[in-house]
């Protein structure tokens, strides 16, 4: 497929190891796969895979570490009614090829920025949302695209403070059957979802697929505090959303908020009560409402700025 081209019918079909049972837990993922327009852009020796839905103002969603576009399974339907939503698999993750070696955040950001140019055009504007590792990638994309990015929204952002000893996760690649399911459930509770009752079959299926397709060592890149480097240079509106019980950070939520405000004093912040790190999945309705409100604020700010410029032109 030529780089940047799109295919509404996805002749490649689903990945060979994707369960096909229409009544199974991955039905929501299968449905979005079927509805998606698939595209590819250059990435290392091969390509980066994108999926898009809907029409309207562009909204780019960047998933978290060891993840894929499926982190947004409950976000895409809410926004594709009124927007063109683009969700890639980031380099070295999901269906996308590995980034050029050695992997660096600036290189990955450049690959993503090139893909956005290929899909939207080199002058198109868009809103950018990054979850966890994707937030750090987003910061570097903004450095390349500048004010073409209407707003940058950081969700459960890492890369703000110096890393401490990471939490220990259950090994999954040597497990099968119920042992594998229980390992994924334990890891989801430790790092992603605060309420164990919300760890359902779909969350486990997504976690399993993502883990089996991850090659990039994203924690190593986050450990270099990429947002602490990029945010002081960002000149577009910045928003942040966290789950109140975000487990992934090695610091308290208030410490992370303080670090973010020190880097970006004008940030608009929303905290979703009782939610964990994967807030866009665990409390999707609350997250979608908060994101819609923040994106709406950005549009209002843009209209006011345009109005002020027009009045100045007539003065």
Q: What is the pLDDT of residues 123-141, one digit of tens each?
A: 999 999 999 999 999 999 9
Q: How far is CA 67 from each of CA 14, 147, 215, 220, rounded to the nearest angstrom?
A: 17, 28, 10, 15
What is the DSSP secondary-structure string of 159-172? Answer: SSS---PPPP----
Q: 């780019």: which residue's tokens?
A: 60
Between 252 and 110, name the one with better pLDDT.
Answer: 110
Q: What is the pLDDT of residues 231-257, one digit of tens each?
A: 999 999 999 999 999 987 556 888 889
Q: What is the residue-averaged pLDDT of the chain?
A: 87
**pTM, 2 dp:** 0.88
What is the DSSP secondary-structure string of 15-54? Answer: -TTS---TTSTTHHHHHHHHHPEEEEEEETTEEEEEEEE-
| Domains in the chain: ranges and CATH | 6-305 (3.40.50.1820)
């Amino acid at each position: 497929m030529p780089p940047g081209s799109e295919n509404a019918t996805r002749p490649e079909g689903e990945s060979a190891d994707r369960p096909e049972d229409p009544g199974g837990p991955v039905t929501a993922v299968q449905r979005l796969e079927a509805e998606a327009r698939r595209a590819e852009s250059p990435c290392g020796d091969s390509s980066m895979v994108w999926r898009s839905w809907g029409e309207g103002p562009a909204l780019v969603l960047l998933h978290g570490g060891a993840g894929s576009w499926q982190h947004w399974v409950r976000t895409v339907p809410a926004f594709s009614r009124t927007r063109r939503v683009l969700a890639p698999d980031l380099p070295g993750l999901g269906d996308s090829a590995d980034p050029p070696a050695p992997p660096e955040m600036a290189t990955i950001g450049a690959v993503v920025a090139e893909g956005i140019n290929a899909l939207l055009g080199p002058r198109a504007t868009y809103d950018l949302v990054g979850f966890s590792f994707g937030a750090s990638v987003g910061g570097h994309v903004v450095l390349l695209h500048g004010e073409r990015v209407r707003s940058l929204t950081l969700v459960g952002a890492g890369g703000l403070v110096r890393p401490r000893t990471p939490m220990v996760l259950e090994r999954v690649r040597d497990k099968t059957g119920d042992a594998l399911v229980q390992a994924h459930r334990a890891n989801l509770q430790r790092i992603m979802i605060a309420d164990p009752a919300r760890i359902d079959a779909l969350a486990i299926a997504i976690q399993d697929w993502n883990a089996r397709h991850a090659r990039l060592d994203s924690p190593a890149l986050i450990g270099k505090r990429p947002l602490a480097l990029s945010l002081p240079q960002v000149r577009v509106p910045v928003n942040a959303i966290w789950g109140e019980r975000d487990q992934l950070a090695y610091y308290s939520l208030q410490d992370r908020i303080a670090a973010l405000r020190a880097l970006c004093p004008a940030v608009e912040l929303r905290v979703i009560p009782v939610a964990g790190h994967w807030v866009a999945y665990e409390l999707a309705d609350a997250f979608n409402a908060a994101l819609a409100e923040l994106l709406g604020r950005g549009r209002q700010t843009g209209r006011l700025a345009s109005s002020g410029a027009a009045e100045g032109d007539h003065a």
